[in-house]
Amino acid sequence: MQAEIISIGDELLLGQTINTNATWISEQLALIGINTVQVTTIADEEKHIIDSLDNALKRAELVLITGGLGPTKDDITKKCLAEYFKTELEMNEIVLAKIVDYFESRGREVLQVNRDQALLPVGAKMIPNELGTASGMWFEQDDKIVVSMPGVPYEMKGMMRESILPQLKNENSKLYYGMVYTQGIGESKLAELIRPWEERIENAGLKLAYLPSPGLVKLRITSTEGDTIMVDELCRELKQNFPKLVYSLNTFSLAKVLGEILKYSSSTVATVESCTAGSLSAMITSVPGASEYYMGSLITYSNEEKMKLANVSKETLMEFGAVSEQTAQEMADGGRKRLEVDYCISTTGIAGPDGGTKEKPVGTVWIAISSSKGTVARKFQFGSDRSRNVEMTCLTALNFLRNHIFGYN
């Protein structure tokens, strides 16, 4: 079954409200095997609503509409639907009684605009709204389904959970997908690396999608035939073959994955940060309960603080500079000693936009890890964008530590 979502509301087109409703609905539909093929976001405007619905029904068997059911003048969805399905509005006495009760129990006057919310199209099934006053509507015509819901997220979600999803679930649920989360490789390089594996995916009739986000690439393998075994096997295989790159099959947050490893091994971590200036520590502590393995950090932005707080020697800074293997190593060692942790990560680099030289251009970053296994440092070359360089450094550092702990080299 193919679905489309139509989101109605001026506020969605002015950059003031992010359309999270459509994202949530498509996620819920995917989980019961219904594929969303288009989301259309439009204003409360009659002709546009009717045209969008008409077009959607040409492509999809199911159209879910949110928004435009409020009591104010600019909410016209119900009227448009009645017109489209060539029917009339009729007072639903049960709904009216509930609306009257809703207002009276809150000590508020029932206005005519509120009563009018009980006017519903003849021939449509009413979908109860336990959390508000606008009822949903379920139309069926020529084997196609059109559902109209309020735009208020929690009212819409309540309706979906209570009435709509259970009804749709009966159809079929053959869609299944698996995820592979990677760090440390770009989208195109990854595609090159896993080409033989990708061919097997295609041959098995599955679909592969690359979903890059800054510093990470997610892979999604989808089966439309409910081939759970094949999907799971292919995901696991990738993790086995590329353990340095694949950090998880179910968790997007690299900080959370690392946190689990630290908790499991009863280890502690700290950071000594220069170019990331606290972002690495913030990423580690974005996980609730991080205090089990994280106690504190030193941010040593200036050379002086590198010496004073992390005990980096003046000679090292003079001879090799702040952005160097030696400085990174001394920062990590000094931090591990001072903060008494099992693992200490240091970062030092040129975040940009200024400060680059020919030998050390903007984006040059050294990351070091100090542990009982020794001290290792690696150089990375990121790009020219300051905040992106910081984010890339943080994600790279977390995966570097994960690999260091597991002994992957």
> Restricting to residues 159-218, which ones interact with a copy of itself according to CB under 8 A?
177, 186-189, 191-192, 208-212, 214, 218
x/- contact string, 272-311, with a copy of itself (CB under 8 A)? -x--xxxxxxx-xxx-xxxx--xxxxxxxxx-xx---x--
Residue 48 within binding range of a copy of itself, rule CB under 8 A? yes
SS3 192: helix
Q: Which residues, in sequence order, are CB contacts of 252 under 8 Å at separation 6+?
A: 181, 216, 218
- Quote the tokens at residue 303: 């050379």
- Quote the tokens at residue 60: 């999809």
Burial class (CB in 10 A: 0-12, 13-18, 19+), 202: exposed
Amino acid, res. 372: S
Number of residues located near a copy of itself, criterion CB under 8 A: 108
Residue 70 within binding range of a copy of itself, rule CB under 8 A? yes
| Backbone conformation region of residue 295, classed left if phi is above 0, alpha if psi is from -120 to 50, else beta | alpha
Residue 123 within binding range of a copy of itself, rule CB under 8 A? no
Site for a copy of itself in 233-262 (CB under 8 A): none
At CA 290, angle to CA 262 and CA 261, rounded to 5? 15
Number of residues that make up the chain: 409
The nearer residue to a copy of itself, 125 or 378, going by C-beta atoms, is 378
Residue 52 within binding range of a copy of itself, rule CB under 8 A? yes
Please state the closest distance from residue 123 (CB atom) to a copy of itself, in A.
27
Site for a copy of itself in 360-379 (CB under 8 A): 361
Site for a copy of itself in 86-105 (CB under 8 A): 105
Give the closest residue to 348 by CA, choosing from 383, 300, 400: 300
| Window of 77-85, 242-250, 268-276, 368-376 that interacts with a copy of itself by CB under 8 A | 268-276
| Residue in 10, 90, 260, 325 binding a copy of itself, rule: CB under 8 A | 10
Site for a copy of itself in 381-400 (CB under 8 A): 381-388, 390
The nearer residue to a copy of itself, 24 or 197, going by C-beta atoms, is 24
Residue 128 within binding range of a copy of itself, rule CB under 8 A? no
The nearer residue to a copy of itself, 294 or 400, going by C-beta atoms, is 294
- Quote the tokens at residue 284: 């580690």
- DSSP letter at 321 equals -
Residue 30 within binding range of a copy of itself, rule CB under 8 A? yes
Please state the closest distance from residue 105 (CB atom) to a copy of itself, in A.
7
Please state the closest distance from residue 76 (CB atom) to a copy of itself, in A.
13
Please state the closest distance from residue 22 (CB atom) to a copy of itself, in A.
7
> Are the C-beta atoms of 82 and 49 separated by less than 8 Å?
no
The nearer residue to a copy of itself, 145 or 190, going by C-beta atoms, is 190
- Quote the tokens at residue 184: 């440390």
DSSP string, 23-65: HHHHHHHHHTT-EEEEEEEE-S-HHHHHHHHHHHHHH-SEEEE
Please state the closest distance from residue 332 (CB atom) to a copy of itself, in A.
16
Helix (H) or strand (E) holding 7: strand 2-8
